[in-house]
Amino acid sequence: MSSEWGMVSCASRVLAGSSLRSCHKAAAFAATVSEDSRILYCSAPARGHNQEGHPESNARVPAILRELDRAQLTPEKRGKEISRLTNFMPASKQDVAAVHSMSYVHGLEKAMGKAAADGLIFIEGSGPTYATSTTYEESMLAAGGSLALVDSLMSVAGPRPPIGFALIRPPGHHAVPAGPMGFCVFGNVAIAARHAQRAHGLKRVFIIDFDVHHGNGTQDAFYDDPDVFFCSTHQDGSYPGTGKMRQVGTRDGEGTTLNLPLPGGSGHAAMLTALKEVIVPSCLKFKPDILLVSAGYDAHVLDPLASLQFTTATYYHLASTIKQLAREVCNGRCVFFLEGGYNLDALSLSVADTFRGLLDDEESRAKLTDDPAVLYEEPLVGVRRAITEIKAIHSL
């Protein structure tokens, strides 16, 4: 099966002109974004990309959208504060090939014929990642939504553009340059990072990844790049086994990869300490032109695929702090990208509280949704040991 997906070891490079063409497509929608908007979001639920019983299902984005509507966190209920980006174009092959090999892009497109004939195919050694007959088309649309958000934010006049949120799937941060991995097809956040650089001249990009699993695909894309800082918190020992503290980048990129594996059982206190003592200082030191966030919600205590114990309140505080950080370092330029999160209730409530954290006048509703009875004591001694070690490695 792997030969059909065209997996090779190196990523192709995209010409700036092709990225600029995508920018021009998205610019048509940017004019509808009010300068008063605080959040600009898009959605690409990939309804056809689905396997019955698989945790990365087509119910994920609709569950989030229903909760946003119920919580009155939509343009219809909030007026100019929240905007929705619609009718965006799929990414081009050249856009995706800024991160992935062109042979992989062509191979996935070609594999759609087999997926249509078989109904569902699995990619050998990908952890497990499946494909249906619509996977290529819907993955290109997800990447296109990511690019359109970047383009739209860059077109907004004024000192405070809205924060972007790409409610898209399939997720992306495990997808390596040569192929898919870990439920992920195309590296949406990595593709957006390259697009921000090539289409908009933003030299330095800072990526925060707070998914419970290490974003190995994003790391691989930028491991030797001094202009993209990849900062990941994740559960120590979890899939895919990468993300060790001593993985700091190589050659010109040495020092621009930061991995903070947290002990199992780490929760709200651990994450807020990591945010304050590691993530924020690293970003202030790097001085990026844009901040991108791989927003995974599978570190929630109720998520079935790992054993951290974040709460809805954790995601509210992450969003609020990241918003303020973006305002301080890069004129508010920031886009979130949906990654993991497989308990639909926890996922949808946490994304809604993320939206509240991104609004200047909204308070968290976590006290109404979080259940303290499911929490247990955090391994704070181990957390402190990890934070002390990573601060020494990166001179923070």
Q: Quick check: 246 and 393 in contact, CB under 8 A?
A: yes
**At which residue do the structure tokens 């918003």 appear?**
323
Q: Which residues contact 121 (CB under 8 A, 6 or more apart)?
A: 1, 111, 114, 115, 130, 131
Question: How wide is the angle at C-alpha 320 spanned by C-alphas 45 and 244, nearest 5°?
Answer: 75
Say whether the peptide bond before residue 281 is cis (omega within 30 degrees of 0).
no
Cα distance between residue 368 and residue 352, in whole Å: 13
Stated as kind and residue range, the H or E segment containing 148 is helix 135-155
Alpha-carbon distance of 196 to 330, in angstroms, equals 13
C-alpha 330/C-alpha 332 separation (Å) is 5
Q: Which residues are catalytic?
A: 174
Hunting for tokens 């901040």 — which residue is that?
Answer: 291
Q: Residue 338 phi/psi, 5° resolution?
A: -65, 130
Q: How far apart are CA 323 and CA 317, in angstroms?
A: 10
CA–CA dist 298, 310 (Å, integer) = 9
Selection from 356, 363, 291 nearest residue 322 by Cα? 291
For residue 236 the two structure tokens come to: 């120590």
The residues, any chain, with a CB within 8 Å of residue 327's CB and separated by 6 or more, are: 160
Question: Using an 8 Å Cβ cutoff, are 35 and 332 in contact?
Answer: no
